[in-house]
Structure 1
Amino acid sequence: MSEIINNREQETTINSNRLTMLKKIFKDLHDGKNVDEVKAHFDAFIGKITIEEISKLGNDFLEEEGIAITEVHRLYAAHMEIFKGAIQEEYQEINRPEDQPGHPVHTFKLENRELDKLVQSKLKIHLELFEQEDSTENIYKLAEDINLLLDIDKHFSRKENLIFPYLEKYGIYGPTNNMWRIDDFIRDAIKDAKQQLTSYNGDKKAISEAVQFIIAEVSGMIYREENILFPMALSHFTEDEWVKIARESDEIGFCLTSPEVEWKPERNRLDEKAISEGYIKMETGILSLKQLELLLNHLPVDITFIDQDDVVRYFSHGKERIFARTKAVIGRTVQNCHPPRSVHVVEELLADFKSGKKDTEDFYIKFRDKYVYIRYFAVRDENGEYIGTLEFTQNIDPIQAIEGEKRILE
């Protein structure tokens, strides 16, 4: 027995020393040391790296607040250079769930194949034609490819709103804080390229650089997802969690393709609690839980409630939601439900509500084909104590279109 204990102690020491060495190597990267030199050191002393080690490194080095997006981009590119060919396969199971059609990871990879095909077989070729001759036809072909690539937003949104929350549950924050920033960087680059092509002014070099950047970044993100993010998620998530993710994916939508079948694992232990028929007595009436939920879901607005600790506790589920919401956000802090670049606005608003400086705040924006009115209310109890924030979102286009009067039934 003492021999086993000693072996375990030695293994723990080796793992600890290895992690210390990895942290030193990656600190050199963060401090601006030459990537080739760092990689040579990595190859000589580490060789292979596991997903668990990447996860630990991500939490230590990739979640710095206030880090510039250009620096995040540099670090991710450098990390990818180090990781390529060095990630250790931890298991080779036959008939893995993620290989089954309809499983979220299978769907993500299916989309990645379509994205890769679009980038390599169309966008890259059409860019070469454009660089040879910036004719109207070649500009149009590039613009058509870029328009198709805008669909990547659905792929990223499912990842951010369905995969990231569960990673946080297991204490893994690197992807949320940083991969989301890179996703936004790619989104912005695609939109900028579309704008440049739409109002092309003869600057062929600018278009070429913008499209080459998109090709490199999309390809890089596919590699990161399939070699780091998905294995990381697969090593932690339960079958029930994957079932929930699969069921909620439809609400956000799919990119360039979609699963042909619904994934049904052999053993589905998901226990969906039916809504209780118990009654709630309120100051102005009594409703069953079923009536209350139906009532809230039939309001022509979207409602979300965040408690005093900034945790999302409820959202209404009407037929036509304006912004995507999935059940994975329940129990998640509201800060982690927003892109990193807009978190400061959320923090400032909540601080004003908690301090009593404000009770309401309104925003109104054009979103796709809607004019959206977003209102926030500080919810306080009878003693004036802050207990949370209510978000109220409404498409006001139909209201703005109202003219005259209507006094009879149609």
Structure 2
Amino acid sequence: MSEIINNREQLTKSNSERLSILKQLFVDLHQGRNLDEVKAHFDALIGKITIEEITQLQHDFVEEGSISAKELQHLYHQHSAIFQGAIVEDGTQNGRLEEQPGHPVHTFKRENREIDKLLSKKLQVHLEKFMKEDSTENIYKLMEDINLLLDIEKHYSRKENLIFPYLEKYGIFGPTTNMWRIDDFIRDAIKDCRQKLVNYQGDKEAIIAVVNYVIQEVAGMIYKEENILFPMALNNFTEDEWVKIAHESDEIGFCLIDSAEVWKPERKALEEKAISEGYIKMETGILSLKQLELLLNHLPVDITFIDQDDVVRYFSHGKERIFARTKAVIGRTVQNCHPPRSVHVVEALLADFKSGKKDCEDFWIKFKDKYVYIRYFAVRDENGNYIGTLEFTQNIDPIKAIEGEKRILN
């Protein structure tokens, strides 16, 4: 079913009021108000905040352009201090996908645990020894730790090249702009630290400063990822998108772990009833399997069919599909093909079809350069039993442009 329809709920009045307060607090912070005062007002007026509100707050600042990108970068650093301990889950995280071994978020968190151990069990310990004595041995130990930390490039690269593009697809630009800048600062600091250690000439304070900066910023990024970025992604991405991210992760590699487990999201097994060769006899004719497939793929519309158990059984594969489909959707429930926050719309429509309250539902939307007509039909057998739902999608721009009559060939 089309994931374009109602993927975003409109903010309620209470949410709008909360966002107005939040925006004013951050404007005050931008204008020089003391961080502790802003934090106190946040605790008193807001108390708890959801990932959705953080997303909207960042999006609004970017859209309005009232604060420059550089200034937003500075404010973004302060978000963590203000939101510390105040972020609550909104209950839409799709069955705790991040707890499933091999899921991209599970893998990112595994890496974060290894990064955290490297920071606290090695780098911090070796820094303290170096602070007491800048011996060759202590310098080498720091260098070994920093060399290991260079592996963080794979972690950040997967985040930036696999997570960020999907966030932007959903109109979420705050993390993609600000986190990437911070990632680059961290990369540069790690390289600078390594260079200073390689060329160490007794400037002990410079080493201490850059190592402390690296520890602070890397630890801060772990917090931002796990409390802001990953929940944002989990609240928006479909299971199919996570499957693509998991498949493409191997090409970039992993940080401080050998590999990720193979993630196999649950699929409902489909019985192999298709006739691989020969013909299919229907009430009004006989077609070969090849003829039937070509016929469906040449229709000037896109069709998708889900069965009575909400499992995607089929989609046509014409030359110019309006909404992309991959074969990975076959055998999945339609609910898992949509972002969690729009699942209730899908379920409401299916409930109406199953109960007999409705037999069809139509939508029409502007999508890219097309005017798209989307129709849903309850498919019933001769006894009126619900068999499934058919989605019918068509670009009606050419039809709307028709005038007069055409009775002869060109």
**How high is the TM-score relative to the length of structure 2?**
0.60
Cα gap change, 1:18 to 1:32, in 2 (>3 Å): same
CA displacement at 1:55 relative to structure 2 = 0.3
Per-residue CA shift, 1:153-202, capped at 9, x if unaligned?
10000000000000011000111111100000000000000000000011
1:206 aligns with 2:206: yes
What amino acid sits opposite 2:213 in the alignment?
A: F
Structure 2 residue runs of 5 or longer lacking an equivalent are: 1-10, 270-410
Q: Secondary structure of 2:88's match?
A: coil
Measured in 2, the distance between the counterparts of 1:146 and 1:22 equals: 38
Alignment of 1:185-200 (within 5 A): 185-200=185-200
Measured in 1, the distance between the counterparts of 2:142 and 2:102 equals: 32
Measured in 2, the distance between the counterparts of 1:187 and 1:99 equals: 28
Q: Secondary structure of 2:262's match?
A: coil
CA displacement at 1:28 relative to structure 2 = 1.3
Q: Secondary structure of 1:23's match?
A: helix
What residue number does 1:150 align with?
A: 150
CA displacement at 1:58 relative to structure 2 = 1.2
What residue number does 1:97 align with?
A: 97
* Bigger relative contact order (CA 8 A; separation at least 6): 2
Alignment of 1:388-403 (within 5 A): none
What residue number does 1:327 align with?
A: none
Measured in 2, the distance between the counterparts of 1:22 and 1:93 equals: 24
Cα gap change, 1:68 to 1:54, in 2 (>3 Å): closer
What residue number does 1:74 align with?
A: 74
1:265 aligns with 2:265: yes
Measured in 2, the distance between the counterparts of 1:68 and 1:91 equals: 32
Per-residue CA shift, 1:230-253, capped at 9, x if unaligned?
000000000000000000000111
Measured in 1, the distance between the counterparts of 2:66 and 2:137 equals: 45
CA displacement at 1:266 relative to structure 2 = 0.2
Per-residue CA shift, 1:368-389, capped at 9, x if unaligned?
xxxxxxxxxxxxxxxxxxxxxx
What do you get for the CA RMSD once the two structures are aligned? 2.2
Alignment of 1:5-404 (within 5 A): 12-61=12-61, 67=68, 71=71, 74-91=74-91, 96-267=96-267
Per-residue CA shift, 1:314-373, capped at 9, x if unaligned?
xxxxxxxxxxxxxxxxxxxxxxxxxxxxxxxxxxxxxxxxxxxxxxxxxxxxxxxxxxxx
The answer on whether the counterparts of 2:254 and 2:260 sit within 8 Å (CA) in structure 1 is: no
CA displacement at 1:15 relative to structure 2 = 1.5
Cα gap change, 1:195 to 1:29, in 2 (>3 Å): same
CA displacement at 1:258 relative to structure 2 = 4.0
What amino acid sits opposite 2:210 in the alignment?
A: A
Measured in 2, the distance between the counterparts of 1:176 and 1:97 equals: 22
Measured in 2, the distance between the counterparts of 1:256 and 1:247 equals: 19
Structure 1 residue runs of 5 or longer lacking an equivalent are: 1-10, 270-410
Measured in 1, the distance between the counterparts of 2:161 and 2:135 equals: 41
What amino acid sits opposite 1:176 in the alignment?
A: T
The answer on whether the counterparts of 2:72 and 2:178 sit within 8 Å (CA) in structure 1 is: yes
Q: Secondary structure of 1:235's match?
A: helix
CA displacement at 1:12 relative to structure 2 = 2.3
The answer on whether the counterparts of 2:73 and 2:178 sit within 8 Å (CA) in structure 1 is: no
What amino acid sits opposite 1:219 in the alignment?
A: A
Cα gap change, 1:83 to 1:258, in 2 (>3 Å): farther
Cα gap change, 1:266 to 1:82, in 2 (>3 Å): same
The answer on whether the counterparts of 1:102 and 1:259 sit within 8 Å (CA) in structure 2 is: no
CA displacement at 1:13 relative to structure 2 = 2.0
Q: Secondary structure of 1:266's match?
A: coil
What amino acid sits opposite 1:24 in the alignment?
A: Q
Measured in 1, the distance between the counterparts of 2:201 and 2:108 equals: 37
Q: Secondary structure of 1:58's match?
A: helix
Q: Secondary structure of 2:12's match?
A: helix
Per-residue CA shift, 1:204-224, capped at 9, x if unaligned?
001000000000000000000
Give the aligned length: 258
Measured in 1, the distance between the counterparts of 2:93 and 2:164 equals: 25
Measured in 2, the distance between the counterparts of 1:68 and 1:207 equals: 30
What amino acid sits opposite 2:121 in the alignment?
A: S
CA displacement at 1:30 relative to structure 2 = 1.9
Per-residue CA shift, 1:106-159, capped at 9, x if unaligned?
000000000000001100000000000000000000011001000001000000
What amino acid sits opposite 2:123 in the alignment?
A: L
Measured in 1, the distance between the counterparts of 2:66 and 2:122 equals: 37
Measured in 2, the distance between the counterparts of 1:54 and 1:66 equals: 16
Measured in 2, the distance between the counterparts of 1:141 and 1:133 equals: 12
What residue number does 1:404 align with?
A: none
Structure with greater Cα Rg: 2
Measured in 2, the distance between the counterparts of 1:144 and 1:175 equals: 31
**How high is the TM-score relative to the length of structure 1?**
0.60
Q: Identity of counterpart residues, as a percentage?
A: 68
What amino acid sits opposite 2:28 in the alignment?
A: D
